[in-house]
């Protein structure tokens, strides 16, 4: 096998591993909590930082606030989080966990998206830039530049 063929094989194998790992985390999370990966990720952020604003959750998830509102709507319907008016500014809505939400977070598995972001944020700037360029190249190779980014392995709708 040529050197390029070995490297290509390694890239494809690592891509398969990455997709499989994300899929396994999502399946495990959904089986244990009956939440999608993004819902579990959001509720874990709320648990860590409550009371928290939607814009702050969106910033931590690297998502648009409108997308996060949809995720939170489903968590509210499940009785896991609640929206309340801020004591400091009644125009501001804060997100808090319910008791049921806290119980779920206490037993919930790790979330792939959270692990991925923690790992990426820990990379040195140069390595992160190199990884970003490599991923852009992968998107070009797959002719996927026009495909809008979606949440990983979920039923959530990504609203721009």
Rounded CA-CA distance 77/71 in Å is 10
pLDDT in tens, 6-63: 999 999 999 999 989 988 888 888 899 999 888 999 999 999 999 999 999 999 998 9
The whole model's pTM is what? Answer: 0.75
CA distances from 22 to 8, 18, 91 (A): 21, 6, 38
Return the pLDDT at 48.
Answer: 94
Determine if residue 62 is left, alpha or beta; phi over 0 gives left, psi from -120 to 50 gives alpha, anything else beta: left
Q: In the chain, helix, strand, coil percent, each to 5?
A: 65, 5, 30
What integer pLDDT is reported at residue 113 of this predicted model?
A: 82
Determine the pLDDT at residue 150: 67
Strand, helix or coil at 155?
coil
Sketch out the chain's domains with CATH numbers.
3-141 (1.10.10.10)
Higher-confidence residue of 9 and 112: namely 9
Q: What is the pLDDT of residue 156?
A: 44
3-state secondary structure of 95: strand
For residues 135 and 129, what is the distance between their CA atoms, to the nearest angstrom? 10
- Average the pLDDT over 100-110 and give the result: 94
pLDDT of residue 110: 85
By CB atoms closer than 10 A (0-12, 13-18, 19+), residue 36 is: buried
Residue 65: asked if its preceding bond is cis (omega within 30°), the reply is: no
- What confidence category does residue 151 fall into, taking pLDDT thresholds of 50, 70 and 90? low
């Amino acid at each position: 096998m040529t050197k390029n063929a070995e490297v290509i094989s390694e890239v494809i194998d690592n891509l398969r591993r990455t997709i499989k790992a994300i899929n396994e985390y999502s399946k495990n999370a959904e089986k244990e909590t009956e939440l999608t990966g993004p819902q579990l990720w959001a509720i874990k952020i709320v648990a860590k930082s409550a009371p928290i604003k939607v814009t702050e959750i969106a910033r931590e998830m690297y998502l648009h606030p409108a997308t996060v509102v949809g995720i939170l709507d489903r968590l509210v319907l499940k009785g896991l989080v609640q929206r309340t008016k801020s004591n400091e500014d009644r125009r501001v809505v804060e997100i808090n966990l319910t008791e049921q939400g806290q119980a779920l977070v206490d037993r919930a598995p790790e979330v792939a998206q959270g692990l991925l972001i923690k790992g990426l944020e820990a990379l040195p700037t140069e390595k992160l830039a190199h990884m970003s360029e490599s991923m852009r190249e992968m998107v070009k190779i797959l002719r996927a530049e026009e495909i809008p980014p979606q949440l990983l392995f979920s039923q959530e709708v990504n609203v721009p």
